[in-house]
Amino acid sequence: MTARRRMTIRTRLTLLYGVTFTAATAAALAAVYLLMSGLLTPAVAPVAPVPAGVTPGTSAGPGVQDAPQVLDDLLRVSGLALAVCSLGAVAIGWIVAGRMLAPIRRVTATAAGIAGGNLHERVALHGPADELKELADTFDGMLARLQSAFDGHRRFAANASHELLTPLATSQALLDVAAAEPSACDVPALLADLTEVNARSERIVGALLDLARADHGVSTVVTADLADFARDAIAVTSGEADRRGVAVVSRLEAAPVIGDPTLLRQLAVNLMTNAIRHNQPSGRAMVTVTTERDRAVMTIGNTGPPVTPDRLEQLFEPFVRGAGRIRHGPEEGGRGHGLGLAIVRAVVTAHHGTLTATANPTGGLTLVIGLPSGGSI
């Protein structure tokens, strides 16, 4: 039982090739032997007279052999040929099996390297587009996604630590200054500063909780109108839009959508907040909600600063802010934490939707969200 468990696939394939070839060859040789036996030894044959001068039991001529002798020679030659061909079949089967299984060994070696912590390795198999190359390409694609996910988690952990550490460091600095000169401490100003720092910490933690909830998936599924969420988002952000002088232009049509209403409302608010805060003074934010085939579509664009194409994907990573974005003042709660679009993507993914971002030629972004309007999630 132990020896059988240790038998490799290459050995089993070689044995399979050898046994199959030997059985087929033996059957063919047996058929030839039976055919020759029937031709050389008829069932009923007359006894020919012995010519004068020929001793009975000897050959009548130099080129004539008895049928049993011919059959014996045929059997010996066939057995020798069967042995030689079987050995040749086993040798060829061993070589062919090795070549066929070489990509599998390469995948195994790559997997062993990855187990050691090197996610940058790839199989990179070359050759015909067969099942083994498809397996290797699929494995490489999985590795690329894993590497991207691990890199994203590392960046997220580092950025989250930095974002959460900054308010704590600020609070500690304010307290250290007050403790160094208690008599000169302006208590009301200190309390106001500490309150602002604490509020920022609460916003960061709240945004992280929203992101975690969106990543967790959809828990409550109802049928709602995506246009209603857009209207709520416009109302919530109208005060900030007025202060910044951003004109909101909307065209909202009924668009039934199935999903979690809390997450969908958060999605709409984050999109509107992003379009207003990362805009030019006296700019515009355009919101459109419509239905296309079996999907509810929300399109939000703005006239913000130019965004290079290579920055588009990075904008949806946690704690990433676009270059040249406007940092809002204390009345809007300090500068942005860079989680808005990350939450948007997580909500879209949880609803099996689509998200497309395009950099406008004149500046700003256009985001197109497609969500299922029928069926189950």
Pick 253 or 335 by higher pLDDT: 253
Does the pLDDT of residue 301 top 90, yes or no?
yes
Does the pLDDT of residue 377 top 60, yes or no?
no
Residues in contact with 214: Cβ distance below 8 Å, sequence separation at least 6, in sequence order: 263, 266, 343, 346, 347, 349, 350
Kindly indicate the confidence band of residue 309, based on its pLDDT and cuts at 50, 70 and 90.
confident
CATH number of 218-372: 3.30.565.10
Task: Give the pLDDT score at 230.
Answer: 94
Kindly indicate the confidence band of residue 71, based on its pLDDT and cuts at 50, 70 and 90.
confident
Structure token digits, residue 308: 């290079």
Rounded Cα–Cα distance for residues 34 and 71 (Å): 9
Task: Give the pLDDT score at 53.
Answer: 55
What value does the mean pLDDT of the chain take? 78
Task: Give the pLDDT score at 327.
Answer: 41
User: In this prediction, what percent of the chain has a pLDDT beyond 70?
Assistant: 79
Q: What is the pTM of this model?
A: 0.56
Rounded Cα–Cα distance for residues 230 and 208 (Å): 23
Task: Give the pLDDT score at 368.
Answer: 95
Does the pLDDT of residue 29 top 60, yes or no?
yes
| Contact between 335 and 319 (Cβ < 8 Å) | no
Rounded Cα–Cα distance for residues 137 and 129 (Å): 10
Task: Give the pLDDT score at 139.
Answer: 81
How many other CB atoms are there within 10 angstroms of residue 263's CB atom? Answer: 24
Q: What is the pLDDT of residues 125-161, one digit of tens each?
A: 777 777 777 888 888 888 888 877 777 677 667 666 7
User: In this prediction, what percent of the chain has a pLDDT beyond 90?
Assistant: 16
Task: Give the pLDDT score at 52.
Answer: 56
Task: Give the pLDDT score at 336.
Answer: 57
Task: Give the pLDDT score at 97.
Answer: 81
- The helix-helix angle for 67-115 and 131-180 (nearest 10°) equals 10
Which stretch of 12-16, 19-23, 114-118 has the lowest confidence by average pLDDT? Answer: 114-118
Amino acid at 180: A
Task: Give the pLDDT score at 42.
Answer: 55
Rounded Cα–Cα distance for residues 135 and 131 (Å): 6
Task: Tell me which residue has tokens 């197109």.
Answer: 368
Task: Give the pLDDT score at 233.
Answer: 92
Burial class (CB in 10 A: 0-12, 13-18, 19+), 341: buried
Task: Give the pLDDT score at 49.
Answer: 57
Task: Give the pLDDT score at 216.
Answer: 67
Q: What is the pLDDT of residues 189-246, one digit of tens each?
A: 888 888 888 877 777 777 677 777 766 667 678 889 999 999 999 998 998 899 889 9
Helix, strand, coil fractions of the chain, as percent rounded to 5: 60, 10, 30
Kindly indicate the confidence band of residue 162, based on its pLDDT and cuts at 50, 70 and 90.
low
- Rank 61-65, 206-210, 289-293 by mean pLDDT and report only the highest: 289-293
Burial class (CB in 10 A: 0-12, 13-18, 19+), 148: exposed
Q: What is the mean pLDDT of residues 33-43?
A: 69
Contacts for 68-71 with beta carbons within 8 Å, 24 or more apart? 68/41, 70/36, 70/40, 71/33, 71/36, 71/37, 71/40, 71/41
Calculate the CA 73 to chain-centre distance. Answer: 65
Does the pLDDT of residue 370 top 90, yes or no?
yes
How many other CB atoms are there within 10 angstroms of residue 153's CB atom? Answer: 11
Task: Give the pLDDT score at 228.
Answer: 94
Task: Give the pLDDT score at 268.
Answer: 92
Domain segments of the chain: what residues?
218-372
